[in-house]
Structure 1
């Protein structure tokens, strides 16, 4: 049985000017999650660079679908607080659809082989 794929908002922040605005942003952001059933998966946890260099902070927020993730990001309550972050940190933020439960990489390679005409 296939279930809907989750959605994620992934943020990469560096050069964060920690001050009253960033603190307010963190205090208020969770209140914007509830209508979209969002929840923290990763928030300001240390990471290890195995390849390449990513010196900033990683944030991952999970949602039941990529539609919910995108609706949350575009929502008025979130957009009202976004400048508290954007004016005090360099950020890259994106949304992405996750894979459904039970996904296997072989599903993708089978489609790739079929598109190449290789069986």
Structure 2
């Protein structure tokens, strides 16, 4: 099942040169794990609530590939170029199956909460 790496980042101009090197090298770290950018440096249109920063979303074939990419020697070798220069939070998220039913999930959560 598809998985995602989601980063909520807060870049402050001017960007350090290390950030550009990181951007130039990240794709080669993702390729062996089937990673591809879904969102990267896109314009954000805020339609509800407060918002700061920007998002990066990378898709992987599954959670194992996402974890393997993040912990890979190749990615770890460039990671500090971003984290030392752009604050933010990064998480790995499991995608939903093709036939996901939000209503069924809502009913199950309601039943569990009712105890």
The match for 1:61 is 58
Larger deviation: 12-21 or 52-61?
12-21
TM norm structure 2: 0.89
> Could you tell me which of 26, 31, 51 is aligned with 2:28?
31
RMSD of aligned Cα (Å)? 1.7
Q: Give the whole-Å Cα distance in 1 for the aligned partners of 2:75 and 2:29.
A: 6
> Could you tell me which of 93, 96, 103 is aligned with 1:96?
93
Q: Give the whole-Å Cα distance in 2 for the aligned partners of 1:82 and 1:44.
A: 17
Q: Give the whole-Å Cα distance in 1 for the aligned partners of 2:72 and 2:105.
A: 33
- 1:75 matched to 2:72: yes
Deviation at 1:113, TM superposition (A): 4.3
Q: How many corresponding residue pairs? A: 114
The match for 1:13 is 9
Q: Give the whole-Å Cα distance in 2 for the aligned partners of 1:72 and 1:47.
A: 26
Q: Which runs of 4+ in 1 moved over 6 A?
A: none
